[in-house]
């Protein structure tokens, strides 16, 4: 048995995965890294660069090949997000909102006709997509949403507002995303709101951008916006699945969303660790390299161990993602990796001292960006609740 694992690489299990990592890493070196600081400072989304991900096969990385996708697995999605986040987490977040929240969601849940009509445009980069669930007054409490969709002949009439939507607008002129998946209440069943999923395209009457969110702590290279639906007429053909199917859609897609958010944390932690180690090796104090001092060694060693533990957990979860329902560990990897990345970036700033506090050494940007992963895609408190609840039901997972 030992021989069968001799050449196994958890992080690049196949030659295809290895080639993907090398391709994304090269793309980041030549295209993503040079623009990252500028777009962070400008709080702008680099749409031109984003569209270059289409020909690389990244925008539909988990989508079927007959719809323009690359038909790759969860490990491939993790690799792409980890590598992109080493250079520009904000840009990577815009990528995640498109490729995971919109494209993968449609690939999993849409009808054959909907996939045929929409996925090729999203996979090629012709269209930018997003998903709209959170509202101004509600985030984690999905059942508390107020947006409604009422059937009227051959259309649904959507009314409501969505908030904190990544890719909600694609430019400074508040141009809406080309395609947004919108969750709305269509009725009530068993004394609970019945939530349904709708495809809303740019140009649909009643669909507009309210405000573009400015002044974010981090992830500034991705646009965040409020979306407004005022008597928005959506054809019945744009209902995804059946009325009331949204909770199933959410559960199927939240797992890979949280997995790839955890992968983003890996990228931020890895870059912070690299910078920290290099600086401690080259910088001297009292005639000795910083790496000679015990406190610096503590920062570096703990960061490395925590990063490797989180990385192993993320990739092992990705390996098993396609095999069975995986909410327990998709919550688990994000819970662990999010805080790990924030702590590693914080230690890197501490090791670099004043240099860590300015943009030249990048870690201050990574530190700002890392915090978002503890909030977006489910707060760490929500993960703690979900994990505890699931373990009550399935105690056999602890063995």
Instruction: Identify which of 304, 301, 302, 297 has the alpha carbon closest to the alpha carbon of residue 280.
Output: 297
CB distance 327 to 247 below 8 Å: no
Residues 6+ apart with CB under 8 A from 197: 109, 181, 182, 183, 239, 240, 241, 245, 246, 249
| Marked catalytic residue, from 82, 257, 306, 374 | 257
CB distance 219 to 341 below 8 Å: no
Query: Hunting for tokens 């500028």 — which residue is that?
Result: 38
Q: How many CB atoms lie within 10 A of CB 108?
A: 16
- Rounded to whole angstroms, how far apart are CA atoms 84 and 104? 18
Residues 6+ apart with CB under 8 A from 50: 91, 94, 95, 98, 125, 128
- Rounded to whole angstroms, how far apart are CA atoms 301 and 114? 50
Instruction: Identify which of 95, 101, 22, 109 has the alpha carbon closest to the alpha carbon of residue 58.
Output: 95
From residue 133, alpha-carbon distances to 147, 183, 345 in Å are 9, 6, 30
2 backbone dihedrals φ, ψ, rounded to 5° = -55, -40
Sign of CA dihedral 208, 214, 216, 222: positive
Task: Note if 284 is an active site residue.
Answer: no
- Rounded to whole angstroms, how far apart are CA atoms 192 and 83? 41
What amino acid positions are annotated as catalytic residues? 257
């Amino acid at each position: 048995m030992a021989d069968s694992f001799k050449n196994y690489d958890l992080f690049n299990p196949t030659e295809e995965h290895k080639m993907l990592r090398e391709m994304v890493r090269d793309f980041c070196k030549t295209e993503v890294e040079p623009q990252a600081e500028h777009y962070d400072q400008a709080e702008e989304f680099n749409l031109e660069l984003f569209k270059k991900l289409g020909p690389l096969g990244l925008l539909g990385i988990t989508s079927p090949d007959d719809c323009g996708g690359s038909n790759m697995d969860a490990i491939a999605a993790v690799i792409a997000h980890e590598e992109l986040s080493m250079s520009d987490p904000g840009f990577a977040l815009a990528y995640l909102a498109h490729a995971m929240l919109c494209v993968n969601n449609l690939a999993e849940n849409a009808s054959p006709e909907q996939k045929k009509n929409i996925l090729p445009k999203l996979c090629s980069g012709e269209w930018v997509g997003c998903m709209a669930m959170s509202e101004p007054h509600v985030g984690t409490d999905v059942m508390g949403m107020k947006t409604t969709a009422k059937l009227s002949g051959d259309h649904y009439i959507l009314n409501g507002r969505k908030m904190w939507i990544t890719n909600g607008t694609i430019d400074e002129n508040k141009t809406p995303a080309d395609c947004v998946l919108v969750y709305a209440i269509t009725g009530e069943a068993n004394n609970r709101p019945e939530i349904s999923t709708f495809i809303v395209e740019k140009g649909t009457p009643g669909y507009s951008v309210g405000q573009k969110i400015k002044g974010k702590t981090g992830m500034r290279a991705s646009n965040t916006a409020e979306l407004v639906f005022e008597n928005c007429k959506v054809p019945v053909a744009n209902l995804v699945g059946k009325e009331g199917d949204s909770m199933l859609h959410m559960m199927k897609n939240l797992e890979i969303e949280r997995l790839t958010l955890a992968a983003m944390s890996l990228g931020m932690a890895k870059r912070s660790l690299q910078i920290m180690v290099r600086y401690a090796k080259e910088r001297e104090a009292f005639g000795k390299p910083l790496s000679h001092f015990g406190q610096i060694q503590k920062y570096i060693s703990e960061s490395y161990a925590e990063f490797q533990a989180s990385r192993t957990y993320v990739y092992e979860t990705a390996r098993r993602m396609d095999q069975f329902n995986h909410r327990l560990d998709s919550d688990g990897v994000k819970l662990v990796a999010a805080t790990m990345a924030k702590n590693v970036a914080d230690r890197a700033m501490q090791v670099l001292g004043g240099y860590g506090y300015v943009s030249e050494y990048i870690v201050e940007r990574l530190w700002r960006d890392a915090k978002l992963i503890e909030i977006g895609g489910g707060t760490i408190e929500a993960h703690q609740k979900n994990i505890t609840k699931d373990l009550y039901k399935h105690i056999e997972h602890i063995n």
